[in-house]
Amino acid sequence: MDDMSPKSSSGRFRKWFKRKHKNKQKHKQPDPYNYLDGLSDGEDEGDYIMEDVYISSFEMDPCTSTNELRIFVGTWNVAGRSPVGSLAVDLEEWLKPQDAADIYVLGFQEIVPLKTRTVIGVEDPTEATNWNLLIGKTLNENFGCPWLTPMLNPVSSDNYQYVKVPDCERRASFSGVIDSTLMRGRWITQYHQQLVLGGSKYKLMASKKMVGVFISVWMKKELLKKYCVSNVKVSSVACGIMGYLGNKGSVSVSMSIEGTSFCFIAAHLASGEKNGDEGRRNRQVSEIFKRTSFPRAAKDDDNRHPLTIFGHDQIFWFGDLNYRLDLEDNLARDLIKKQDWKALQGFDQLRKEQEDGGVFEGWREGNIKFAPTYKYSSSNCNRYSGGLPNRSGEKQRTPAWCDRILWYGKGVKLLSYFRSESKFSDHRPVSAQFSTQIEVMKSTNSRFLDKETNFHNIMPPEQIGPSINNEEGKPTLLSLIVKDTESSSTHMQVDTNY
């Protein structure tokens, strides 16, 4: 039976709600601060959405539970170097697949050299494909899965996503990890079928490249059978040269697992250690917040999904954020030798900017108990660049924690925060492992429940406005709708001197 029918239980509830609401309005003066007074008896789209919200909230509490997921988040600036076979050992040490996280979210910077032709030229997916191959090989070979090589026809796009296929069609069709525009079947090889449908334990959910910034998200295949994973979307924001070229910026992935929405942002911010350079980084963060979007498309299902970064329940921001140490080089190196990380953190630009409200206010980061990750002298070297006496041809750089991982939202617990010791680049990889809580829907009749799964709030009520809070100061359901549809950050002018 159609749930929209007046004869169904939900249809009867709709009629009751409208009738009750209409009767109330007859005996009540309009309240300009109560946005619910705007409801009418019409069948326009706004009313339809609001009614579904009330039905969802009516059914949600007894129909949900929370489950735990383990998420591995990693970031690595690879200094323009292509992945090589010998790097598999370094990747294994970094990803620690023996610990078997449920989701691996990896952000890379400079997977191509940031030269003029790569910044303004046509995107080349080759390096992104090579990294994905090596990541998949590292994650899956640890479980003894067969791996077919070589790949005869490489992926022809740098923007591909998990496409869900109904269980009844899985044997007859290919559940791809690519953008729907590429679902032609021409390039599908035995390798890809093995990667996605065969013995592999992890499945590529989404991948996006913008010049040198690259994100790759993998999930345990068994979780795709256990949970509803929906609305996997990608976005990119270029805010480098002139404020709009892709040498700096971000690539992001949005996805929902059951009733919890996730946003992963891999970023590469402006470099430089002169006074004022931190301001440029702050402005780029603001631009990324403002311009990142995950618009709805005609092919989307009925489930609502977040449109902006702050519309998500749990957000992870990671990358080469390039914040430096406000400290003389020799003093910084002395503290590093003493491994006095607490004293060194007192000079960290990112933490100072957070405390002053300049950037990432309210976001969290683990306690840093490892040496600065940048800048090492060269590949295969454990010595920081520069210092006294300075070697000929080396750049003088004060060591700094450029590579960071932050998070925002409820239900997230940090398990570990560490760096790895690969000498592949002049940066060291950084990783964090999290335990996260997801809301799982238990009701068999989830049509209405699924419509509004992202109204758990991570934006503070004061950013929404007091007029749509209730008397106790708690955000109303409508305030969460407003939160989801509005951008969370204000426009700030980007400095074009990069």
Q: What does the DSSP 8-state code read for residue 378?
A: S
Tokens representing 276? 């004022």
What is the per-residue pLDDT for 143?
54
Q: How far apart are CA 108 and CA 141, in angstroms?
A: 22
Tokens representing 192? 């890809």
338 C-beta neighbours (distance < 10 Å), count: 10
Q: How far apart are CA 140 and CA 196, in angstroms?
A: 11
Q: How far apart are CA 410 and CA 457, in angstroms?
A: 8
Query: Across-strand partners of 160?
Result: 207
Sheet holding 403-409, edge to edge: 229-238, 249-257, 260-268, 314-320, 403-409
Residue entry with tokens 């946003």: 263
Q: How far apart are CA 108 and CA 106, in angstroms?
A: 7
For the stretch 184-214, pLDDT in tens is 333 334 444 444 444 689 999 999 999 999 9
Residue type present at position 444: T
Domain boundaries, the chain: 64-141+197-387+397-441
In Å, what is the CA distance from 233 to each residue of 66, 207, 318, 412?
24, 10, 18, 22
Of residues 4, 73, 46, the one with CA closest to residue 436: 73
296 C-beta neighbours (distance < 10 Å), count: 11
Residue entry with tokens 């729907």: 180
Contact at 8 Å (CB) between 205 and 177? yes
User: Please, is 73 exposed, middle or buried when counting C-beta atoms within 10 Å of its C-beta (0-12, 13-18, 19+)?
Assistant: buried
User: Please, is 269 exposed, middle or buried when counting C-beta atoms within 10 Å of its C-beta (0-12, 13-18, 19+)?
Assistant: buried
Tokens representing 24? 């109330």
Of residues 436, 488, 39, the one with CA closest to residue 289: 488
> With left for phi above 0 and alpha for psi between -120 and 50, is residue 377 left, alpha or beta?
alpha
Strand segments, DSSP code E, in 377-450 are: 403-409, 412-419, 430-441
Domain 64-141+197-387+397-441: top CATH class: alpha beta
- Residue 40 CB contacts under 8 Å (≥ 6 apart), including other chains: 47
Dihedral sign for Cα 160, 166, 169, 170, please: positive
What is the per-residue pLDDT for 27?
47
Contact at 8 Å (CB) between 142 and 99? no
What is the per-residue pLDDT for 36?
31
- Cα torsion 492, 495, 496, 498 to 10°: value is -130
- Residue 486 CB contacts under 8 Å (≥ 6 apart), including other chains: 308
9 C-beta neighbours (distance < 10 Å), count: 12
41 C-beta neighbours (distance < 10 Å), count: 10
Question: pTM for this structure?
Answer: 0.72
Q: How far apart are CA 185 and CA 169, in angstroms?
A: 15
Q: What is the largest CA-CA distance in the chain?
A: 84
Residue type present at position 58: F
Low-confidence spans in the chain with pLDDT less than 70: 1-62, 142-157, 164-199, 379, 388-393, 443-498
